[in-house]
Amino acid sequence: MYIINNMKQNIIITGGTGLVGCAINEIIEELKYKSYPYLSKNLLQEYNFIFLNSKMCDLKNYEKTKKFFTESEPEYIIHLAANVGGLFKNMKYPVEMLQDNIEINSNVLKCGHEIGVKTIVSCLSTCIFPDKITYPINEDNLHNGPPHNSNYAYAYAKRILEIQSRTYRDQYNDNFITIIPTNIYGENDNYNLDNAHVIPALIHNCYLSKKNNEKFIIKGTGKPLRQFIYSKDLAKLILWTLFNYKDTTPLILAPNEEDEISIKQVALEIAKQMNNTDNIFFDSNFSDGQFKKTASNKKLLNLLPEFKFTKFSEGIKKNIKWFNKNYPNLRK
């Protein structure tokens, strides 16, 4: 349930108990005793944060979505909810990845418009950019060719979300904007071995490998390159975007290009921090997916030059510490 202080404005975070929703919740709690130069302390005094999950409301259902939004009266929505998963889930369930996400996004934007929210910030992903493209990717490249075939259904659903947001701006002047984070990792992720994204899957596999004295098997060659953003860094940037981003075009939220690393480097860092480096095996029988999707953060840093990204080794250390502590109760 959620508690409403009628003296404050309401902010709904869809997907509120997922990876990024939990990170936003943690940052809001940190504002009680920490200061960030780009986030106002007034967030705590002026707003109620409603962390919406699927048990509270089925966003695939228009009537239920409209009822929840009407009763909670949000002024703002941070839209994170989605049917998400790693490479192999995308390849196995393209129908669900397309249909579920289109339904969720359509209902959130339509109901948000109908009740008159001030701003909706919706989360996309760099995986939706064209496969054949000149790097680094920037915001103007979003629709310049088809995405990689390994996740085309999810990618097109997210591209449509950008178009949906644009149509509400064009026709109704609604302040519906989109952000494009790179690969996200951090605490409170989904560690299911079949459906997880690459980092939680690697952490869980490394843990089981060490526990059972078996090979630490990494699916694929380990050669693909990725920019990984720590979930709490992304949470800060989303809160900043909600109140400070005045442009109507998408905004890439990404660490620096030189911080891009290979899946092999990720696996080795995880193995090192979990003391399990002796029996690593890369299984090239599995697909690597898209080789790279390097994104430029030039636009972001022009707007927020003082922002400092968490080093990958530091972020993954915190992630693994949390994983070990919370293993019995993880989403797995």
Top-confidence residue, 13 or 332: 13
| CA distance readout (Å), 163 to 3, 83, 109 | 34, 19, 11
* DSSP per position, 160-226: HHHHHHHHHHHHH--EEEEEEE-EEE-TT-B--TTT--HHHHHHHHHHHHHHHT--EEEES-S--EE
Give me the mean pLDDT over the 179-185 stretch: 96
> What size, in residues, is the chain?
332
Q: Shortest CA distance to 122 belongs to which of 101, 100, 141, 138?
A: 101
Indicate if 154 belongs to the active site.
yes
pLDDT surpasses 60 at 189: yes
Q: What is the mean pLDDT of residues 158-176?
A: 97
Q: Cα-flanking dihedrals φ and ψ of residue 155, to 5°?
A: -60, -45
Mean pLDDT in the chain? 93
Residue type (1 letter), 271: A
Q: Does the pLDDT value for residue 3 go beyond 70?
A: no
**Domain range summary for the chain, segments of one domain joined by +:** 9-189+227-257+295-310
Which of the residue ranges 99-108, 113-122, 220-229, 281-290 would you say has the lowest mean pLDDT? 281-290
47-57 average pLDDT score: 95
Class of CATH domain 9-189+227-257+295-310: alpha beta
pLDDT at 39 over 60: yes
Q: What pLDDT sits at residue 85? A: 80
Predicted confidence (pLDDT) per residue in 253-288, tens digit:
999 999 999 999 999 999 999 999 988 999 999 888
- Phi/psi at 304 (nearest 5 deg)? -140, 65
Cα three-residue angle 111-115-121, rounded to 5 degrees = 65
Q: Which of 131, 100, 143, 104 is nearest to 14 (CA)?
A: 104
Per-residue pLDDT tens digits for 217-232? 998 999 999 999 999 9
Name the catalytic one among 76, 154, 185, 245: 154
Residue 177: DSSP 8-state: E
pLDDT of residue 45: 86
